[in-house]
């Protein structure tokens, strides 16, 4: 976008590793944020080259970090080179902003992804997801070779991890039959495929063989990846059936969205595969839930 003019503004400083922030400054002056472009009308996660100006002070460089929702309104978040976080409250009177806030950025467009280090099956063995390239061939769940159309990449700031950006760790053998063959980490809404169902990882959490990755285990930022093929397909991630990219999640959330547009000129629709999707734990069939619990019991027996 060309210019984004707003007031008031609240400056938050992170005082801990748990995502809590202290509001230490507020301004009612006009603030202008500009990325110097007149060709687009949005900021993208991790976008740099942005200048924030507190008139009459000189501009300072900031990076867009997403947005936070508070009292039904969404507010953009920027961070400067010193690590200071700015939350822009356009419609919110500063008196109603909390002096201490736990900020989870709005991740409605967050990509559904694999964590770095995930091993994807290919005809010649497994490749790390971050090492896959466009045009490289991967294997789908029935052994058919399918070319990679694009690899989406998104950088996540841990301080802004929200419900959809949280990571889920699936322990080795959680699905039975050594699936996955090694611990697999995916984003909460990434679909794992079991018994003809696409089930969001968050719905499979049983606090044992499948659990949330603790915030304390995460670095300050991490990168997640998604594999796009021609169709919404099932590939093997650490040996476990898992979905490829489907565009209802949106490509704009990826750091390299511009690469996609350069390659293909415009967005394309990827229809969902015919498998039903489950996004809530209460809808997971008992047969699958029992399998997860049995794998937990088996693990206990092996370690006893």
Cα(228)–Cα(245) distance, integer angstroms: 5
Site of tokens 């590939």: 235
Confidence class of residue 17 from pLDDT cuts 50, 70 and 90? Answer: very low
What pLDDT score does 61 carry? Answer: 82
Q: Is the peptide bond before 39 cis (omega within 30 degrees of 0)?
A: no
Cα(204)–Cα(189) distance, integer angstroms: 10
What pLDDT score does 104 carry? Answer: 43
Could you read off the pLDDT of 239-250 as tens digits, one per residue?
A: 999 999 987 667
Q: What order do you get walking across the sheet with 240-243 strand by strand? A: 125-128, 119-122, 234-237, 240-243, 191-194, 197-200, 277-278
144-153 mean pLDDT: 96
pLDDT surpassing 90 at residue 59: no
pLDDT surpassing 90 at residue 86: no
39-60 mean pLDDT: 63
CA nearest neighbour of 23 among 108, 80, 76, 96:
96
Q: What is the mean pLDDT of the chain?
A: 77
Share of the chain above pLDDT 70, in %: 64
Where exactly are the structural domains of the chain? 4-102, 114-303
Could you read off the pLDDT of 189-241 as tens digits, one per residue?
A: 899 999 999 999 999 999 999 999 988 888 878 889 999 999 999 999 999 99
What pLDDT score does 115 carry? Answer: 92
Give the helix ranges, DSSP H, for 37-87: none
What pLDDT score does 80 carry? Answer: 78
- CATH class of domain segment(s) 114-303: mainly beta
Could you read off the pLDDT of 151-199 as tens digits, one per residue?
A: 999 887 665 555 556 899 999 999 999 999 999 999 988 999 999 999 9
Is 148 in a helix, a strand, or coil? coil
């Amino acid at each position: 976008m060309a210019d984004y003019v707003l007031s008031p503004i609240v400056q938050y400083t992170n005082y801990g590793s748990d995502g809590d922030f202290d509001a230490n400054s507020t301004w009612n002056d006009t603030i202008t944020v500009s990325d110097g472009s007149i060709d687009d009308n949005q900021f993208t996660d991790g976008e740099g080259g942005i200048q924030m100006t507190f008139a009459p002070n000189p501009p300072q460089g900031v990076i867009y970090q997403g947005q936070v929702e508070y009292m039904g309104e969404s507010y953009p978040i920027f961070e400067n080179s010193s690590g200071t976080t700015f939350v822009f409250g356009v419609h919110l009177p500063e008196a109603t902003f909390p002096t201490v806030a736990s900020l989870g950025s709005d991740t409605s467009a967050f990509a559904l992804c694999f964590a770095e280090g995930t091993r994807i099956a290919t005809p010649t063995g497994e490749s790390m997801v971050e090492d896959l390239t466009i045009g490289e061939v991967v294997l789908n769940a029935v052994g058919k070779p399918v070319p990679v159309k694009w690899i989406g990449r998104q950088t996540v700031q841990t301080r802004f991890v929200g419900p959809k950006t949280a990571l889920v760790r699936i322990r080795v053998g959680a699905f039975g039959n050594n699936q996955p063959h090694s611990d697999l980490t995916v984003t909460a809404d990434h679909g794992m495929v079991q018994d003809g169902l696409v089930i969001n990882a968050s719905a499979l959490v049983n606090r044992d063989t499948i659990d949330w990755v603790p915030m304390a285990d995460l670095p300050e930022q991490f990168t997640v990846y998604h594999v796009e093929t021609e169709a919404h397909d099932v590939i093997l991630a650490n040996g476990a059936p898992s979905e490829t990219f489907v565009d209802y999640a949106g490509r704009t959330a990826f750091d390299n969205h511009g690469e996609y547009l350069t390659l293909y000129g415009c967005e394309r629709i990827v229809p969902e595969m015919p498998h039903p999707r489950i996004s809530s734990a209460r809808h997971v069939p008992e047969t699958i839930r029992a399998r997860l619990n049995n794998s937990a019991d088996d693990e206990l027996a092996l370690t006893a």
